[in-house]
Structure 1
């Protein structure tokens, strides 16, 4: 029986009066799946549950299969679609077309564009379709995901805030429908409507929160959804790695430094996931106070999502010796692939091709650069894919004259991260610390 048939049966049951008793569990499960996924669920589809299994650092690259990487997207749905098609990952109908390809998106879906939720849902669905086809689509978290979870929403557009608010309203409606249909709430989950009332009550007593709400009325909804343990963090971010090695390719948003290797890359993935789930500091509840403590390896200019040690446009300013030390310390690692710092001359390599930089600022809100992707062929050759141009081998960027470096373009973000960390350490909110740094 289909979803609409079950809904009609429920609505007309018991002599025309709807009742919880007349609703079958099959409908409850179908509704749970329907409310979390685009389109009706296929027959036998199970209700959506966030994937919170451990995130391995190292995964194999299937022999004979291609590997693809896509850089920062920043809320630009149309550029995201074009990049996915350029890389051969999505067909014209919006479905996975990569077969057994392994793909990695290096983070920074959020901020600077209006279509964050739309992109998150698209990538989530494509990742599921990739697994079903024998491929993989790995999604990493970047510094902008980290900033938003910390409470720094300064780069969120008004359109994105409205999108998040609309999604939250839909989630509330779905929660009510699930309750009406007898679908039990997951153990330990709070009532979304009660959470909204609690957040509104807390905001009413905070002059700072009131000022923020007057300036950007959807920020409190966004903040609640993206806080550690929030509905967006649990669903979309907690299932993503911070660092991932696929075969000989080490993927990270900013850069892996020797201190990160010494700390332990698996430990970084585990502790970042615990923070996103709201379980950091031993707190296993949705919004426990200790759960908001951002791990140190995610804060500051040398953080794994913020580092730019290998991204300078002038290769002489890249810390190639440090890069070599990191790669030699990780078994099998041949190169690092990073995003985060815009490469205005396109995807390129540095340090004797030991690092590939894939953030080309493609989002209309962050450079509006050309659509590009990186491909590693089965024979190990690394290619730069570019719209309306033939694929070319990745190599050093050509010289550039009298143009600001990408690090200068992003200097304010580094200052914001430092301010957020200082504000949190001083006992204030991350958002307050970031605002002070502006």
Structure 2
């Protein structure tokens, strides 16, 4: 075996990260020590709150009341808390609580944003589990729902004279009194308010980082591509935060003017913008700044780039032999020994090392109903050794 390979010490299996999983063995005495660990990295949650809290409890990071019990240890969660499962709200609110509790205890609960955090912020709701909206139903007042219904159904009228395209020409057939309840189930608008620029969840997510560097380990949701490797972590984080704020500020302005409501979805917004550009005439002065900001972010920001830190899969899927020199360059430019990523699941649905363990994949399909994977964590010991906890 190569010296660089990491030994997986799991609850019921011992295997090498860079090799196929070994047959299960009785290794209870070799269970990874969470007591001596300094850091725990956990990948995609995707709404599986129950699996998430069970894992935190087994790691000794929370007590029975789900309060921080990890002392000076650190939890790093690499994004994709949301979508595909019903427990996203509970999971994010727990992480929000643990952040303060861990800091007070001398530890840390560090949460990064992934592509699904970005999607929920900007209005790409394709993967929201209907039960997630239901979890916000109690927060949605009749007044809020009535206000949104009135403003959305009136968009064709309130946008008149401001748009050049015929985007709203058939809006009445696409959105009306009959369609509205199905398009916007109970809890939908409270959900959107929570993820807004000033919403409790939205504001918290906007303050999260995209990449996190600690002890020469770089944590990021999707990965670092060759192009993005030229951008150092601090700049990645600041540019993402600035672009998210600019995007949501621009869409808020369009809503205030009565031209668009992000409740219709970010893809509908892009259709509207494309139609406006195709129409050819000058943009109305009231819309020019907002349209320009949205188009700049859509076309140039790391938020939507396929090789950006939220979406890139090259480190997870690239040929290990052919891509190894490029990975070495990326590590060198970023001045790190290792990149820890979520977003893409190994075929085994177990934490896996690639490129001589300079890349570690930690998305193991925690959401049992969707992926049939497992809840697991990458453990960092004080001596630098890495273990897998399942």
- Is the pair's TM-score, using the shorter chain for normalization, greater than 0.5? yes
Compute the TM-score of the two structures, normalised by the length of structure 2: 0.68
Q: Distance in 2 between matches of 1:317 and 1:306?
A: 22
From 117, 123, 128, give the equivalent of 2:89.
Answer: 117
Tell me: CA distance 1:201–1:217, structure 2 relative to 1, closer, same or farther (3 Å). same
Greater relative contact order (Cα < 8 A, sep 6+)? 2
SS at 1:375 equivalent: strand
SS at 2:227 equivalent: helix
Q: Which residue of 2 aligns with 1:389?
A: none
1:225 to partner: Cα distance? 2.4
Q: Per-residue CA shift, 1:367-395, capped at 9, x if unaligned?
A: 13122110011111110101xxxxxxxxx
Q: Distance in 1 between matches of 2:123 and 2:151?
A: 15
Contact 2:195/2:203 (CA < 8 Å) preserved in 1?
no
- Runs of at least 5 residues in structure 1 that lack an aligned partner in the other structure: 1-63, 173-192, 387-438
Q: Distance in 2 between matches of 1:145 and 1:372?
A: 21
Q: Determine whether 1:288 maps to 2:291.
A: no
Q: Per-residue CA shift, 1:306-341, capped at 9, x if unaligned?
A: 1101112x854883332221210123x110000001
Q: Which residue of 2 aligns with 1:231?
A: 199
| 1:305-344 → structure 2 map (5 Å cutoff) | 305-312=310-317, 316=320, 319-331=323-335, 333-344=336-347
| 1:3-402 → structure 2 map (5 Å cutoff) | 66-169=38-141, 199-205=148-154, 207=171, 208=174, 210=176, 211=179, 213-218=181-186, 220-221=188-189, 224-225=192-193, 229-276=197-244, 278-280=245-247, 283=249, 287-289=252-254, 290=290, 293=297, 296-312=301-317, 316=320, 319-331=323-335, 333-345=336-348, 346-386=350-390
Q: Distance in 1 between matches of 2:204 and 2:302?
A: 20
Q: What number of residue pairs does the alignment pair up?
A: 295
1:257 to partner: Cα distance? 1.6
Contact 2:47/2:86 (CA < 8 Å) preserved in 1?
yes
Q: Distance in 2 between matches of 1:209 and 1:231?
A: 26
Tell me: CA distance 1:219–1:299, structure 2 relative to 1, closer, same or farther (3 Å). farther
1:90 to partner: Cα distance? 1.2
Q: Distance in 2 between matches of 1:107 and 1:323?
A: 22
Tell me: CA distance 1:308–1:368, structure 2 relative to 1, closer, same or farther (3 Å). same
CA RMSD between the two structures:
2.8
Contact 2:137/2:188 (CA < 8 Å) preserved in 1?
no
Compute the TM-score of the two structures, normalised by the length of structure 1: 0.61
